[in-house]
Structure formats: structure tokens, C-alpha cells
Amino acid sequence: MSVERPRIALAGNPNVGKSTLFNALTGLRQHTGNWAGKTVATAKGEYRWRGVDYELIDLPGTYSLAAHSEEERVARDYIESGRAEVVVVVCDATCLERSLILVLQVLEFTGRVVVCVNLMDEAARLGVEVDVTALSDRLGVPVVAAAAGDGIGLDDLRCAIEKLVKGEGEPAPAPERAPEQRVSLAERYARQVLRGQEESRLRRQRRLDRLLTSKSTGIPIMLLLLGAVVWLTVAGANLPSALLTKLFASIGTWLEGLLAGAPAWLSGLLLDGVWRVTAWVVAVMLPPMAIFFPLFTLLEDLGYLPRVAFVLDHAFQKARTCGKQALCMCMSLGCNACGVTGCRIIDSPRERLIAILTSSLVPCNGKFPTLIALITLFFVGGRSGLLPSIEGAALLLGVLVLGVAGTLACSRFLSATVLKGMPSSFALELPPFRKPRVGQVLVRSVLDRTLFVLGRAVTVAAPAGAVIWLTANITVGDATILAHCTGFLDPFARLFGLDGVILMAFLLGWPANEIVLPVMLMAYLATGSLVEFDNLAALGQLLTQHGWTWLTAACTMLFSLFHWPCSTTCLTIYKETGSLKWTAAAVALPTALGLGLCLALNCAAHLLGVA
């Protein structure tokens, strides 16, 4: 067999730390988290060991190779094809018996297997030990103990792989067994190689589980946790945002000096258009994201997200969809495009499509700054301090809950109309709580998520800034292009409690939700450029001068919550569904909902005379 560049496949149950092991071996940074189904596609990487390059393939996590779901098909096809010279089956030491069922099944396909018993550290905390030598004797293949999160056992694993690659002869696959036989064999092996008691520790886990999911405490704790995350984001982002704004203002002055000799249109385009919009996006977006993502990742690492899905499942059952949709919804909270990709964890095509179509109904991080600003200005009275920040967070939490309600209502609507059907079967694993690796979480969430999303926002904000500046500065007839457009949209927008400028801002904000507010300001100021605001009060004054009332703010927030997905999300939806029709539906659904709610609110307020 060629040893040019041996291919090694990683297989295993979902959530056994396969991705962590993959990252540890290759030095790559695939997203990891404590819930089943994160690895939605096969990832490839490589590592070097004693002068030989190895290619490593991370297969999706599966409970079996029976090919019932997409992931199982992918994993089975890969292992069956014999493309991998060695298959590493990763086991969970805290749940060895179940892991062994898959090991036995893989052994029926190939004898070139290394078993890696991962999460030994967690098992030790639970008071459990695994006798790997005894297990190796029984399975007839090398078994390595590892704790991939701390880098323990990696070299042993690399050695075992090397031995198998260099070794002569072809170990024969095991004879095929019936599923029940596999289960009972796994049970016997597990009993023979496991030492220790896990009861006391498990009891503590159960207590926490009961607290997080019981009738009286489950939902209040969920709201409190989400509220706390939102409050920390709202309250914590203020100061760094102000500092960044100041910093960018001074850089702007310096750039101004640099461009002093340039023609007016060029410095206007670059400075007032590109630079100011980009600087705004970074200043208002970076701090909330840098707080929200790590907090969220901590909860994810702890294992809380599957509990959320468990608590919310009944509602999704009523909406006739999959309970795993709650996990996609959580992902959408960070970024709608991530939520859409995450929908791959849902097996049933019907339910997956529903989850994709409703993914943009929960507000992504990019909408937070606009929502926070409007809440602070119009509903908390522009005050600052501890109490107003709590009020603001409570209102933002309300907006999030409204988003969840919208998701459920639209899912039910789709289940009853174009995507008729009953919920399919699913089993959701609730993994043991893990102590979050705080340092790792911070680095990962800032580097991988925050900078990734920010980078994407900046790449669209810069050209968008140029386009906006051009529309606001090129005059056709008696007004600028932007003024023509807003004037044209105005009568229509008024029906929904908005105005032409607001609607235009949402249209121009298609590339990124973060730039909606800056576009509004540019249009209102009619100076054709974005003026920096040192404080929110000045912003509030400007909006009030242009006829904003609490109703305008409420309608704008509603429309911000429910309108077309951003361009990245639209593209992702198209990629995932492969259909222009469904992409169009994903645009139409939230837009119709948003316009409908704005119209209703506007009419109700006027009829009741509270506008």
C-alpha cells in the first residue's frame, strides 16, 4: 500500500470530541461545541509525524453506519470505499458502551482501525476508568486513551496510526453481526473494561438538569440566562463603542489631512463614503459581538443548548417541526447565515426547509446595534445607568422572544400550507455538562466568529459606503438620487408607520444589517455624508426633527426584526436549498410578516388615538 500520504478518517458518535481531536492533530480551528451535529460536512486537514504527511478526514458524527441519514451515508460511503488507510473510531469514555456499538460496526467494514477513547479526563472526574489494554485485547485492534482538549494521548494516537500504516498484512474485517448482537457485545465489553462508580457525580448532573428543564424553573431560567447575556452585551458595549468612535474620528481627521490636495469628489467618496461607513460599522458592531459571542460560546460549551431544545421542543412539536430547529435558531442569533447552514442537522427535508425559511426571523447580531439604539432613545428615554440598561436589556429580550414567536408561528403556517406534513421522529442527545474551557472559548469565539463576521461586514460596508455616498451626492434634476428614491417610497412606507428614508435604508442595507442606521442618518442629514455622533442624544434629536415618534421607532424595530435576510444569508439559503423559488420564499415570508405587523400596529395606534 502506498505510504506517500496516508489518509486517515475520523469516525465516531456525535459529540465525542471528534472535532476537538481533529483540531488538536491538525492545528486547524474547526468550530466545536457541546452538542450533537456540529460537524455538518466532512472537514479535511493534515499533520506531519516523523517525516510523513498524513491527510486527516473528519467524518460527520453518527450513531451507526446504517445510512438512514445524510451524515450516516457520508460516513458509511467513505469507510466502505476503502479510501482511508486507517479509520480512527473516536469513543466517549463517559459513554463507552454506546461508542462501542459503532466500533463493532466499523470493524465489520475494515480491520484497519485504531480506537481512540477520548474524554478520559471527563470520565476521571466522573470517577470512571477505562482499561484500554483490556479493551484492545477484546477488540483485536490498537486502543489509545486520550483527552484531546488538553492534548493528552495525541502522540500515542499518531504512533498507533503510523504502526498500522507501515505494518505489513491486511487485518481482516470482523464478520457481520445483527444489530442486537452488536449491542449486547458492546455491553459485555464495556462491563469488562470499565472500573469505578459514576453515580454521585451523575446525581449532581441530574440535579442541574432538573433545574434547567423542569416545569417550574426551566423556562424562567432560560429567559434569565438569555436576558443576562443580552444585558451584558448592551451594558458592556457602550464604553468600548464610544472609545472606538473617538479613535476612528481622530484617524478620520488624519486621513482628511492626507487627502487635502485631492479633488473634492474623491475625498468625499473615500472619506465620507467608504471610511465613515466602515468605521461606523466597526465601532457599533465589534463591541457587542466581542461580548455576545464569547458568552454564547460559553453556554454552548457547557452543553446548555440541547437543554434549550429540550425545553422548547413541545412548542416545535405543536408547530409540527423538528425539535432540533431550536438549535438552528440559537445559531441564527449569532448570524443568520450560520443558522441556515446549521439546519443540516435536521434529517427530514420538509422540516429542514421550514427551519431554513424561518431562520432569519430571530435577529442576528448585526441587528442588535440598531435595536439597542432605538430602544435606548425612544423607550428608555435616552438615560444611561444601571436601571435603564436593565430596562433596555429587558426590552431587547422582548424583541428576541417576539422573534421566537414569529419563528414558531411561521413554522406552523408553513406546516399547514406549502410544506404540509407531520413531525418526523428524532432523538436528541443531552450530553453531560462540561466545565467550559474559558481561555479556549475566548480565543476561539473572538478569532473565529467575531473577526469572521466582522470581516464579512466590513467587506460589504466599504463598497456599500461608496454606493451610498454616490446616490446621496449625484443630483438628477432637482434632487439627489437618494432623495428621489426616498420621496418615491415615502407614501408607501407611511402606510406601515415608516417613512421613505427608513425603507430605503433597509433596501440599501441588504448587504449588511449593520449599515441600516448609518444610511438613515446620511439621508436625513442630506449632507451626503455620515456625521459622527458623540452621543445618542444628538441622534435622537435628529430623528425627532424628522418626525419620528415612539410609533415610528416601534415600527422600525418590528421591520428590522422581520424583513428580508441579508445578502450573505440569501446566498447561503440558495446554496443550501439549490432553489431560487425557496430563496424567494425565504425573502418573502419575513418581509410579509414584518409589513403586516407594522401595518397592524400603525392602524391600531391611530385608531386608538395613541400615535
Query: Under the rule (CB under 8 A), what is the footprint of other proteins?
Result: 63-64, 66, 68, 94-98, 101, 179-180, 183-184, 186-187, 190, 199, 202-203, 206, 209-210, 213-215, 218-219, 306, 309-311, 313-314, 317, 323, 423-432
Given the complex with other proteins, which of 386 and 422 has the nearer CB atom? 422
Give me the least distance between CB of 108 and other proteins, in Å please.
14
* Cα–Cα distance for residue pair 526/475, rounded to 1 Å: 12
SS3 sequence, 206-272?
Answer: HHHHHHHHCCCCHHHHHHHHHHHHHHHHHHHHHHHHHHHHHHHHHHHHHHHHHCCCCCHHHHHHHHH
> Which of 515, 485, 510, 498 is CA-nearest to residue 557?
498
Given the complex with other proteins, which of 208 and 442 has the nearer CB atom? 208
Residue 36 CA, chain-centre distance (Å), reads 14
Give me the least distance between CB of 215 and other proteins, in Å please.
5
Given the complex with other proteins, which of 91 and 454 has the nearer CB atom? 91
Give me the least distance between CB of 205 and other proteins, in Å please.
9
Give me the least distance between CB of 349 and other proteins, in Å please.
13
Q: Is 449 helix (H, G, I), strand (E, B) or coil?
A: helix
- Cell matching residue 100: 462501542
Give me the least distance between CB of 393 and other proteins, in Å please.
24
* Cα–Cα distance for residue pair 301/34, rounded to 1 Å: 5
Give me the least distance between CB of 59 and other proteins, in Å please.
16
> Which of 168, 164, 165 is CA-nearest to residue 140?
164
Give me the least distance between CB of 124 and other proteins, in Å please.
15
Answer yes or no: are the C-beta atoms of 101 and 22 closer than 8 Å. no
Residue 146 CA, chain-centre distance (Å), reads 28
Given the complex with other proteins, which of 321 and 450 has the nearer CB atom? 321
Given the complex with other proteins, which of 135 and 493 has the nearer CB atom? 135
385 by Cβ neighbours in 10 Å (0-12 / 13-18 / 19+) ranks as: exposed
Helical spans, DSSP H, in 513-579:
516-525, 536-545, 550-561, 567-577
Given the complex with other proteins, which of 209 and 272 has the nearer CB atom? 209
Given the complex with other proteins, which of 210 and 494 has the nearer CB atom? 210
Helical spans, DSSP H, in 82-198:
96-109, 120-125, 132-139, 154-166, 179-193
H/E element holding 86?
A: strand 86-92
- Match 415600527 to its residue by C-alpha cell: 555
Give me the least distance between CB of 600 and other proteins, in Å please.
29
Give me the least distance between CB of 123 and other proteins, in Å please.
10
**334-to-41, 151, 364, 569 alpha-carbon distances in Å:** 20, 29, 5, 12
**541-to-277, 394, 404, 483, 536 alpha-carbon distances in Å:** 21, 24, 32, 21, 9
Give me the least distance between CB of 183 and other proteins, in Å please.
5
Give me the least distance between CB of 179 and other proteins, in Å please.
5
Answer yes or no: are the C-beta atoms of 373 and 536 closer than 8 Å. yes
* Cα–Cα distance for residue pair 330/339, rounded to 1 Å: 7
Given the complex with other proteins, which of 186 and 493 has the nearer CB atom? 186
Phi, psi dihedrals of residue 308, rounded to the nearest 5°: -60, -45
Give me the least distance between CB of 345 and other proteins, in Å please.
14
Question: Per-residue DSSP letters for 311-325?
Answer: HHHHHHHHTTS-TTH
**Cα angle value 593/597/602 (rounded, 5°):** 150
**Other residues' Cβ atoms within 10 Å of the Cβ of residue 154:** 19
Give me the least distance between CB of 225 and other proteins, in Å please.
15
- Match 494521548 to its residue by C-alpha cell: 153
Given the complex with other proteins, which of 139 and 493 has the nearer CB atom? 139
Given the complex with other proteins, which of 386 and 427 has the nearer CB atom? 427
Question: Per-residue DSSP letters for 276-295?
Answer: HHHHHHHHHHHHHHHHHHHH
Give me the least distance between CB of 100 and other proteins, in Å please.
9
Given the complex with other proteins, which of 106 and 338 has the nearer CB atom? 106
Given the complex with other proteins, which of 58 and 92 has the nearer CB atom? 92
* Cα–Cα distance for residue pair 466/277, rounded to 1 Å: 9
Given the complex with other proteins, which of 66 and 610 has the nearer CB atom? 66
H/E element holding 500?
A: helix 500-508
Given the complex with other proteins, which of 33 and 511 has the nearer CB atom? 33
Give me the least distance between CB of 444 and other proteins, in Å please.
26
H/E element holding 53?
A: strand 52-58
Given the complex with other proteins, which of 50 and 215 has the nearer CB atom? 215
Answer yes or no: are the C-beta atoms of 460 and 511 closer than 8 Å. yes
